[in-house]
């Protein structure tokens, strides 16, 4: 009897486990997706917290039980930093410095990267290694000699000094990345143009560079972002407030014992907004560019 029951029950159990496994396989990707959303939310919580804190009024910001979102959102802090602290000036300086660094970097990097991508020799390889090594020199370790040299050149307290110094950080990176980009464009296309009577450099500007357009734009965007965040060089090469870019301005809000967090986070939010916009625009390409730049 019991054997009969078991014999009857067994197929049913087997069937159910098959169907539940099938169902698990169906929903597995969605469970994983949910997990991914959770991970990203926990990771990005600090950024969210910056924005919502900036939108809270002083009472809500300093309440002993923090609110997860602003119950009475206000732009008071944003109005204050622009009207009273004149942070527009910092943003303007950041725009001037980062744009200049980007232009200077691209002008110097494009030709160099193209030559490094097309000529293969021992010396070229040695040069690539030297450039990779210079890519990793941290600004805090270079700033002492940089300051003394710029002091001797009479460039201290100019934005030119900041631009020249920051370019040392972005140029090696741009060369390495552009070299990979140009190397991916088949040389046959250039050779076809040269057979048609176009000189080598003309072929580069008319054929290769347009084909590598997106890669070049991404390198430009990343260069801009790196220059935009640079802190050590402007902090030490310039001590006039009216010439300082955003990071040094932000430091005046959060360094030392400044404790008006509403204003500080409002400025942080305004300052970081362009970074997030640029990153969202080029996200996919920046991801592939970063990995190629670091590993090839």
Sites for other proteins among residues 57-116 (CB under 8 A): 61-66, 108-109, 111-112, 114-116
Helix (H) or strand (E) run with residue 116 in it: helix 88-118
Interface with other proteins, residue 163, by CB under 8 A: no
Place of tokens 């054997």: 3
CA–CA gap between residue 51 and residue 77 (Å, rounded): 11
Task: Work out how close the CB of 231 gets to other proteins at its nearest, in angstroms, rounded to a whole number.
Answer: 5
Binding other proteins (rule: CB under 8 A), the pick from 37, 75, 126, 189 is 37
179-208: contacts with other proteins (CB under 8 A): 194, 197, 199-202
Q: Which is nearer to other proteins, 14 or 287 (CB)?
A: 287
Q: Minimal distance in Å, beta carbon 115 to other proteins?
A: 4
Pick from 141, 189, 277, 281: which binds other proteins (CB under 8 A)? 141
Tokens representing 214 are 């997106």
Cβ neighbours of residue 81 closer than 8 Å, sequence gap 6 or more: 87, 263, 266, 267, 270
The smaller minimum CB distance to other proteins, of residues 14 and 277, is found at: 277
Residue 217 CB partners (closer than 8 Å, separation 6+)? 282
Binding-site member from 13, 18, 33, 126 for other proteins (CB under 8 A): 33
| Distance from chain centroid for Cα 106 | 17
Binding segment (CB under 8 A) for other proteins, from list 85-93, 184-192, 207-215, 228-236 = 228-236
Closest CA to 99 of 224, 192, 195: 224
């Amino acid at each position: 009897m019991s054997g009969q029951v078991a014999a009857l029950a067994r197929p049913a159990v087997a069937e159910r486990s098959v169907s539940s496994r099938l169902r698990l396989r169906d929903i597995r990707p969605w469970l994983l997706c949910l997990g991914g959303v959770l991970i990203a939310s926990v990771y990005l919580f600090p950024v969210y917290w910056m924005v919502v804190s900036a939108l809270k009024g002083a009472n809500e910001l300093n309440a002993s039980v923090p609110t997860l979102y602003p119950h009475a959102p206000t732009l008071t802090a944003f109005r204050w930093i622009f009207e009273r602290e004149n942070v527009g000036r910092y943003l303007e300086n950041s725009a001037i410095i980062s744009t200049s660094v980007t232009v200077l970097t691209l002008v110097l990097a494009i030709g160099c990267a193209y030559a490094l991508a097309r000529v293969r020799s021992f010396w070229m390889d040695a040069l690539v290694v030297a450039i990779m090594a210079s890519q990793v020199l941290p600004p805090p370790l270079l700033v002492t000699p940089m300051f003394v040299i710029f002091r001797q050149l009479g460039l201290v307290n100019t934005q030119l000094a900041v631009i020249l110094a920051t370019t040392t950080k972005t140029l090696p990176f741009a060369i390495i990345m552009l070299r990979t980009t140009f190397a991916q464009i088949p040389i046959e296309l250039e050779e076809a143009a040269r057979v048609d009577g176009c000189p080598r450099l003309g072929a580069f500007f008319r054929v290769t560079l347009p084909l590598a357009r997106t890669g070049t734009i991404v390198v430009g965007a990343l260069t801009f972002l790196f220059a935009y965040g640079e802190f050590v060089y402007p902090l030490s090469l310039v001590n006039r407030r009216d010439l300082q870019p955003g990071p040094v301005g932000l430091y005046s809000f959060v360094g030392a014992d400044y404790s008006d967090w509403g204003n500080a986070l409002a400025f942080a939010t305004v300052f970081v907004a362009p970074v997030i916009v640029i990153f969202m625009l080029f996200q996919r390409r920046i991801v592939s560019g970063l990995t190629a730049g670091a590993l090839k």
